[in-house]
Amino acid sequence: MLVIVAPGQGAQTPGFLTPWLEDPAFENRLHWLSTVAGLDLAHYGTEADAETIRDTEIAQPLLVGTALVAALQLYPQPADAFRTVGALAGHSVGEIAAAVGARVLTAEQAMVLVRERGKAMARASAATPTGMTAVLGGDRDEVLAALETHGLTPANDNGPGQIVAAGTMEQLAAFADAPPEKARLRPLSVAGAFHTSHMQPAVGHLARLASSISTHDPRTRVISNRDGRVVHDGRDVLARLVGQTASPVRWDLCLETMEDLGVTGILEMPPAGTLTGIAKRALKGVATFALKTPDQLDDARAFCLEHGEDAGLETTPTWRVVVSPVKGTFHRSPEADVPDLAPGTAIGDVASSRDKVEVTAAHGGQVVEWLVEDGDLVSPGQPLVRLHPAGAA
């Protein structure tokens, strides 16, 4: 199974777009997204220095725009991706690129959203001096206990041996004076305490914008940063993108879901390297491909063909599917034993080793076919029931 991932803020480096812009098609597409975002992304990706592209208002649109245009270089016919990509995920702002790849949002909607996200997070960062520090190594429980003692948030949980602490500069300084045993601390060059309560003002602004955004249900699995669950309702994907601004990134749980899915290959969109590096440590035996420059595109396409398989989620206009958000045992609800399901009806739950997750038919409809039985073991993103949309011809 192939999973494609998009990196988050901090992956950008000065000049990383230079080789990509030698292709006129890439340049023209990036120019269009630059126009939508109101930023000269080509300039920032080729000529700007490290301090300039560290700016949240610049870094976030730059990363999303790059991932979107590079995806079209990898899959010139986007429909081909739905037949080979098993799941999509993005780290932090990379989730917006993943949502576009799954056809939840359009590229233009995404660029407006990420433009406003960057601005709102920059304003929130300016309100109180905050920052982030990577905690490398140490005992996980001891690290988390130390963060709680100092009032810090584990803003990024990236897997074994890598947690990112976030909070005020005073809290981070006190933490640095008394670090957990056997842990190394590395202050990060970011503008604020992202994915913490300090970003709550940004959530309100984005929520107002999101209320006017129309979405589509994903055409392939989307793995959420919030809890590692597979999300197959477009409105839920958007709501999670909004809330994620002030909630921790659980990349460790995303990796667990990839493993549950049976991932064999992970390809990271440019500027690549960060997420494939984490995957190499966390998912032993899983092949990785860091797409950094356009001269790698032929090899990247070969990698996708090698690991790609039909996700089984392609729909037609005449039916929808409800899928499992997690791995576990499916228990069907008595409420679902009717021919027509109202929107929001709970069709059952999936009990995993971690928790029990309710599954709802967000759009409702007439039951065409149950694809699993009560008590069946299911995997993340596995179709559970096929529905004929209410009111459809």
- Tens of pLDDT, residue by residue over 74-127, are 998 888 888 899 999 999 999 999 999 999 999 999 999 999 999 999 999 999
Residues making up the chain, counted from first to last: 393
- Active-site residues, by number, are 92, 195
pLDDT value at position 315?
46
Rg of the chain taking only CA atoms, in angstroms: 21
Q: Is residue 393 scored above 70 in pLDDT?
A: no
pLDDT band at 318 (very low <50, low <70, confident <90, very high): low
Q: Mark whether 17 and 114 lie in a shared domain.
A: yes
241 closest CA partner among 222, 259, 254, 256: 222
In a domain, 26, yes or no: yes
Paired with 365 in beta bridges are 341
> How far apart (Å, rounded) are the C-alpha atoms in residues 285 and 103?
30
**Residue range 296-323: mean pLDDT, rounded:** 81
pLDDT tens digits, one per residue of 176-185: 999 999 999 9
In a domain, 313, yes or no: no
Residue 154 structural domain:
127-187
Q: Mark whether 120 and 131 lie in a shared domain.
A: no
pLDDT tens digits, one per residue of 348-357: 999 988 899 9
In a domain, 235, yes or no: yes
Tokens linked to 158: 């990236």
CATH code at position 69: 3.40.366.10
In a domain, 393, yes or no: no
Indicate the helix (H) or strand (E) that contains 280: helix 274-282
Average pLDDT, the chain: 94
> How far apart (Å, rounded) are the C-alpha atoms in residues 376 and 160?
31
pLDDT value at position 1?
95
Q: Are 242 and 203 in contact (CB under 8 A)?
A: yes
Q: Is residue 392 scored above 70 in pLDDT?
A: no
Tokens 């905050």 belong to: 130
Tokens linked to 277: 């590096």
> How far apart (Å, rounded) are the C-alpha atoms in residues 383 and 217?
14
Q: Mark whether 175 and 205 lie in a shared domain.
A: no
In a domain, 273, yes or no: yes
In a domain, 300, yes or no: yes
19 closest CA partner among 294, 297, 296: 294
Tell me how many domains the chain contains. 3
5 closest CA partner among 68, 77, 95, 106: 95
Q: Which residue would you say has higher pLDDT here, 328 or 363?
A: 328
